[in-house]
C-alpha cells in the first residue's frame, strides 16, 4: 500500500534561519507531488506542485523553494525564514495517469507545524 | 483556473442528513469535482469525486447538477466525527494543481 512520510511534525525556527522539510512517498511511482501551507484559521494554499523529477511549478511568489531530486521525494526549502512563513505545511501525492494530465484523489501527510520566532 | 464557491459555515443536527453545496459555474468539460474534508490539526482526507453522474461511496454521496455548474455533497446521517472543514475542488485532465478554496466549516450539534 502507498504511504506518505512527512517530517518533522513540529518545528520552531528563528527568523532568518534556513528551512528544509522533506516528504517521501512509498508504494507508487511517478506520483504528482504537492506542497501546501495553511495559516492559522485559514484555508489551504498551494505552494508548489511537481509532475516529475526536476519539474516544479510555483504557485505563489515567496522566499520558499521546492525540489524533487528523486521520483518520490519532495523537499521544501528556504534560505531565510520570515515570521509570515509560520503555518501548517502539508505534503500530498496523487496518481498521475501516464501520458495524460489527469490527477486522481490526493493523499496528504500528517503535516509539519512550523513556528518562526 | 475554474474556481469553486462554498458557504463559509453550516450546522446540522446529529443523525440527520447534511447537504453541502458547491458552485463551479466555470467548470471545464474535463474537470472532475473532488471533495475533501479536514479534521482539526490533520491533513485533508479524500471523500469522493465525480464527473457527470451522481456517485456513492461508503462515506458520502455526490450529486452533480445536469449542467455541472454546481454539486452537493450528501452525508446521509451526520455524526459528531463528521465535524470538519469540507472542500470542493476541481481537477482533471490538464488541471493537476488541486487548488483548495476556504471550504465549509461543518458543525454537528449533538
- Give the model confidence (pLDDT) of A70-91 as tens digits: 999 999 999 999 999 999 999 9
* B96 to A102: CB separation less than 8 angstroms, yes or no: yes
* A49/B36 touch (CB, cutoff 8 Å), yes or no: no
Higher pLDDT, A96 or B56: B56
Range in A3-7, A56-60, A113-117 with the lowest mean pLDDT = A56-60
pLDDT for B9 beyond 60: yes
Neighbour count for residue B103 (Cβ, 10 Å): 26
Q: By percentage, how much of chain B surpasses pLDDT 70?
A: 94
| β-pair type (B31-38, B84-92) | antiparallel
Place of cell 471523500: B47
Closest-CA distance, B79 to chain A, in angstroms, reads 23
Average confidence (pLDDT) over B9-22: 97
What's the confidence (pLDDT) of residue A99? 46
Is 70 exceeded by the pLDDT of residue A97?
no
> Does residue A53 belong to the interface with chain B, where contact is any CB pair within 8 Å?
no
Q: Which residues share a beta bridge with A27? A: none
Candidates B40, B96, B97: best to mutate against A (most CBs of A within 10 A) is B96
- Tracing cell 462554498 back to the chain, one arrives at B6
Using CB atoms within 10 Å of the CB of residue B11, give its burial: 0 to 12 exposed, 13 to 18 middle, 19+ buried. Answer: exposed
**Per mean pLDDT, which range of A6-10, A58-62, B15-19, B78-82 is the poorest?**
A58-62
- Identify the band that residue A112 occupies on the pLDDT scale cut at 50, 70 and 90: very high
Q: Residue B72 belongs to what H/E stretch? A: strand B70-75
Q: What are the b/e assignments for B63-102, b being 16+ CB within 10 Å?
A: bbeeebebbbbebeebeeebbbbbbbbbbbeebbbbbbbe
* Phi, psi torsion values for B82, nearest 5 degrees: -85, -5
CB B99 within 8 A of CB B33: no
Task: For residues A6-22, give the mean pLDDT.
Answer: 95
pLDDT at A96 over 70: no
Q: Which of A105, A87, B106, B28 is nearest to B4 (CA)?
A: B28
How far from A114 is each of A46, A90, B73, CA to CA, in Å?
A: 16, 11, 32
Q: What integer best gives the mean pLDDT of chain A?
A: 88
Q: Is the pLDDT of residue A100 over 70?
A: no
Looking at residue A103, its pLDDT comes to 53
Give the phi and the psi of residue B80 in degrees, each rounded to 5.
Answer: -60, -30
The yes-or-no verdict on residue A26 having pLDDT over 50 is yes
Q: How many residues does chain B have?
A: 110
Q: Are the C-beta atoms of A65 and A3 separated by less than 8 Å?
A: no
Least Cα separation, residue A75 to chain B (angstroms): 17
Amino acid at each position: 500500500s502507498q504511504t506518505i512520510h512527512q517530517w518533522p511534525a513540529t518545528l520552531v525556527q528563528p527568523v532568518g534561519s534556513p528551512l528544509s522539510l522533506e516528504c517521501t512517498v512509498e508504494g507508487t511511482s511517478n506520483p504528482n507531488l504537492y506542497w501546501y501551507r495553511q495559516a492559522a484559521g485559514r484555508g489551504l494554499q498551494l505552494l508548489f506542485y511537481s509532475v516529475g523529477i526536476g519539474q516544479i511549478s510555483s504557485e505563489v511568489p515567496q522566499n520558499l523553494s521546492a525540489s524533487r531530486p528523486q521520483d518520490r521525494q519532495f523537499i521544501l526549502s528556504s534560505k531565510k525564514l520570515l515570521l509570515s512563513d509560520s503555518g501548517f505545511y502539508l505534503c500530498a501525492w496523487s496518481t498521475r495517469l501516464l501520458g495524460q494530465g489527469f490527477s486522481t484523489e490526493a493523499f496528504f501527510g500528517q503535516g509539519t507545524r512550523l513556528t518562526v520566532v | 483556473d475554474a474556481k469553486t464557491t462554498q458557504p463559509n459555515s453550516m450546522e446540522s443536527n446529529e443523525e440527520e442528513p447534511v447537504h453541502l453545496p458547491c458552485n463551479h459555474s466555470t467548470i471545464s468539460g474535463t474537470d472532475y469535482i473532488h471533495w475533501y474534508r479536514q479534521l482539526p490539526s490533520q491533513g485533508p482526507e479524500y471523500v469522493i469525486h465525480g464527473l457527470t453522474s451522481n456517485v456513492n461511496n461508503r462515506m458520502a454521496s455526490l450529486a452533480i447538477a445536469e449542467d455541472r455548474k454546481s454539486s452537493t455533497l450528501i452525508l446521509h446521517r451526520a455524526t459528531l466525527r463528521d465535524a470538519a472543514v469540507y472542500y470542493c475542488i476541481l481537477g482533471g485532465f490538464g488541471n493537476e494543481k488541486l487548488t483548495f478554496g476556504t471550504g465549509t466549516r461543518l458543525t454537528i450539534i449533538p
